[in-house]
Amino acid sequence: VMTQSPATLSVSPGERATLSCGASQSVGRSLAWYQQKPGQAPRLLIYLTSTRAAGIPARFSGSGSETEFTLTISSLQSEDVAVYYCQQYYAWPLTFGGGTKVEIK
């Protein structure tokens, strides 16, 4: 089971946003992050815990291992308003966290 916190995060523009994802058992580093904006399909941000996908801005970074992971947006932009999901691909079934909604304060 993947658990994300907080459920909603309000951050001022230019400030840092820190999103957490916890796994009920170790998933090694097999952890990905996605961004989903309203009415759109999810977009891959990070895979293998900390590798940015193609075209993803450097303000997005990932860290962690085993059971505790973090997605950091170093300087929040208006276009970063979205729901963010983590996903483990260490074992079947593949599972997603419940999501963190990021808002502009």
Partner 1 sequence: QVQLVESGGGVVQPGSSLRLSCAASGFTFSAYTIHWVRQAPGAGLEWVAFLSNDGGEIHYADSVEGRFAISRDSSDKTLHLQMNSLSPEDTAVYYCARSRGAGSHYFDFWGQGARVTVSS
User: Residue 69 and residue 63: Cα distance in Å, rounded?
Assistant: 6
Q: Tell me, what DSSP letter sits at residue 53?
A: P
Least distance (Å) between residue 22 CB and partner 1: 15
| Spatial CB neighbours of 90, under 8 Å, sequence gap ≥ 6 | 26, 27, 28, 30, 31
In the complex with partner 1, which residue's Cβ is closer, 92 or 105? Answer: 92
For partner 1, which residue of 30, 50, 61, 70 counts as binding (CB under 8 A)?
Answer: 30
- What six digits make up the tokens of 11? 């951050």
Strands 100-104 and 51-52: unpaired
| Min dist. Cβ of residue 74 to partner 1 (A) | 22
From candidates 14, 78, 93, 105, binder to partner 1 by CB under 8 A:
93
The DSSP string of 94-105 is: PEE---EEEEE-
Q: Which of 11, 47, 60, 76 binds partner 1 (CB under 8 A)?
A: 47
Q: Which of 95, 102, 103, 104 binds partner 1 (CB under 8 A)?
A: 95
Positions in the binding site for partner 1 (CB under 8 A) = 30, 32, 34, 36, 41-44, 47-48, 53-54, 83, 85, 87, 89, 92-99
